[in-house]
Amino acid sequence: MEFDYLGIQTLYDRYLIVDRTNTGDEERRIETPQLFWMRVAMGLFHNEVDNKEERVVSLYNLYKNRRFCSSTPTLFNSGTPHSQLSSCYLYWVDDSIEGIMERGITENAYLSKWAGGLGGSWTSVRGMGGHIRGTNGRSQGVIPFLKLHNDLLVAVNQGGKRRGSGCAYLETWHNDIGEFLELRKNTGDDRRRTHDMNTANWVPDLFMKRMEAREDWTLFCSSDAPDLHETYGRDFDERYLAYEAKAERGEMSGEKIPAIDLWKRMLQMIFETGHPWITFKDACNVRSPQDHAGVIHSSNLCTEITLNTGSDETAVCNLGSVVLDNHLTESGELDLAKLRETIRIAVRALDNVIDINFYPTQPARNANLRHRPIGLGVMGLQNALYQKGVPFASEAAVEFNDEFMEAIAYFAYEASSDLAREKGRYESYEGSKWDRGLLPPDTVDLLEQERGQAVDVPRGGRMDWEPIRQKIASQGMRNSNVLAIAPTATISNIMGTSPCIEPLYKNLYVKSNLSGDFIVLNRHLVNALKGRGLWNEDVMNKLKYLDGDLHDIAEVPNELKQLYATAFDVDPMLMIAAAARRQKWIDQSQSVNLFLAKPDMKRLSHMYRAAWRSGLKTTYYLRTLGASNIEKATIAVKKQGVELPEKEHTAEERLACSIEAMRNGEECEACQ
């Protein structure tokens, strides 16, 4: 396997096993990359009864040939004495001091210790002023407990490798929502700030409808309306309207505010702090295969996992990603036979994680063995589009998203069903959407019916799904959930490909991670320029000066400028349309970053409303254009014979930099 410098340095610094018996100053690695891949493959298949060696070699070959990669916790720990291989944990905190301290603090400390990324719902915890019957006092709300959780993430180092990572979710009707929105601000009472913890809004459809209609919205203390968090869709609407009527009659407390004002505050905080992210409660629940087994109370740290949580279940998900650009033919078409082979091996490996995994808590064990969810994702979309010669900012790219995601879904659901025939169905299969003959693409119509308004995504696909429907009806499913697209920021470096389903950030930029700072240059662009005889020192210096932007480099032809356009050149509406096409086939969700070059409140509102109308379940970071990413040094760049001065940035650009969500240390490595 060939590595670029960033890939091999990342592997050396963070993944290869270190000899801890060495008392010298220099750490000694006791693995080569080849032994590393073999350790991981052997660890995942050592419990196989039949054809064990063949299965190990098949997975090793996927790794070696850059066709699939497991998530970081699996790479860290597979084949070691302490096999905590899972990426994500989702928890739910109830409204009691025992529940808060046990589930929200103590159990999360154990989960974080073993390198799991945390995401959880705090909506059930009563808000400021709520009555405490035991002491006849008044609650200080959920914020002090979130501060405690924030400090836990700092204190409990993840496996000795990095600080803990977590995300707290709160529903939009909770009466602490105002303070929750400001948790990441750098001003105000620091005792009511969580600078080290991510936050996300858990938004019901009714709020979006009220906001668009410019109607009022009522905030409640969760202890007065405990069932709101346990319902969704039309059931939620009925209960919410009933509570509003009681508040109007003076029978309970409720604070009425214009929904549009709250929406503007949500967007303003994303501008200022990058948080809270916006995720959609009803889309997650209505489209869930496991709607019979409880409620999805939140997503995870990176917003791609949507699993049920409860008093005795902490949801767990095990991740891995297909390398898309290594599944194309020479003509740029999907190699379906190769893709099917990769996915069948990958799904088997991910399913094995469930049985050999170390579970830090009993609720985590309960949930994972009962439902057996996995999260197969994809990376390398941008590289695949380069190979196809298709610009990211095009309708052809949107169609390709539909095409490749349908194929991945088809083969993944087939693989899980075949595993069910061999090893048995997951325990809670009966009553699931799978059992009722409903597949993920069918849920678009279900969501449309539940909302009472159109979901803006084309139906249908290219493949014949009837054989898969019949197979699932006959064999069942091994896994409650199969697909989830994680960020893959770190493992994509190892695989030498582009991260998940994102456009390239820049053609030239500095990548900062725990291994140091690396200048990353788009090798596809360089090869294209070399092929046309355009690559020289002058063009290279212009790329450095312009932060990889091709617009003002006259030597680069327009077709190359379109093909190698970067994230901030792509219309966000096209990215949302592509995400909606993928979501049609995915049973969980995807880490969907939105890119906006300049602060624009109106455009941002349109983006998130389009995401909601398209049936997306979640969104992730808002990426904004930082003021400077490349050290200009003292290079002399001449354009039309004139030496360009050092590039200056406007106040608006500096503001954009201040709300940049790609700050060092912000990424969740658990999902990477």
* DSSP SS3 for 224: coil
Reply yes or no on whether 668 is catalytic.
no
* Cα dihedral 124, 128, 131, 132 sign: positive
Which among 300, 318, 352, 357 is annotated as catalytic?
300
Q: Which amino acid is at 550?
A: L
Reply yes or no on whether 414 is catalytic.
no
Other CB atoms closer than 10 Å to residue 3's CB: what's the count?
17
Which among 302, 317, 668, 671 is annotated as catalytic?
302
Other CB atoms closer than 10 Å to residue 366's CB: what's the count?
17
Name the pairing type of β-strands 137-140 and 128-132: antiparallel
- Alpha-carbon distance of 20 to 13, in angstroms, equals 14
Phi, psi of 417 (to 5 degrees): -65, -40
Structure tokens at 580: 């909606």
C-alpha 571, offset from chain centre: 21
Are 630 and 544 spatial neighbours (Cβ–Cβ below 8 Å)?
yes
- Alpha-carbon distance of 20 to 405, in angstroms, equals 43
- Alpha-carbon distance of 296 to 371, in angstroms, equals 14
Which among 272, 304, 313, 414 is annotated as catalytic?
304
Reply yes or no on whether 167 is catalytic.
no
Name the pairing type of β-strands 319-323 and 68-70: antiparallel
- Alpha-carbon distance of 90 to 72, in angstroms, equals 18
Furthest CA-CA distance within the chain: 79
How far lies 240's CA from each of 125, 175, 178, 222, in Å? Answer: 18, 14, 19, 12
Phi, psi of 596 (to 5 degrees): -140, 115
Beta bridge partner(s), residue 379: 323
Are 73 and 359 spatial neighbours (Cβ–Cβ below 8 Å)?
no
Structure tokens at 543: 């790329």
Phi, psi of 144 (to 5 degrees): -60, -35
Q: Which amino acid is at 641?
A: G
Are 126 and 170 spatial neighbours (Cβ–Cβ below 8 Å)?
no
- Alpha-carbon distance of 292 to 368, in angstroms, equals 16
Are 479 and 373 spatial neighbours (Cβ–Cβ below 8 Å)?
yes
Structure tokens at 9: 């340095």
Three-state SS string over 124-185 comes to CCCCEEEEECCCCEEEECCHHHHHHHHHHHHHCEECCCEECCEEEEEECCECCHHHHHCCCC
DSSP-derived letter for residue 207 is H
Other CB atoms closer than 10 Å to residue 292's CB: what's the count?
15
Name the pairing type of β-strands 277-280 and 315-317: unpaired
Structure tokens at 299: 């997503």
The DSSP annotation for 463-502 comes to S--HHHHHHHHHH--S-S--B-B---TTHHHHHTS--TTP
Q: Which residue has the tokens 């009691």?
A: 96
How far lies 489's CA from each of 265, 364, 603, in Å? Answer: 30, 26, 27
Are 350 and 399 spatial neighbours (Cβ–Cβ below 8 Å)?
no
Contacts with 83 (C-beta within 8 Å, 6 or more apart), sequence order: 43, 77, 356, 357, 358
Q: Which amino acid is at 305?
A: I
Q: Which residues are catalytic?
A: 300, 302, 304
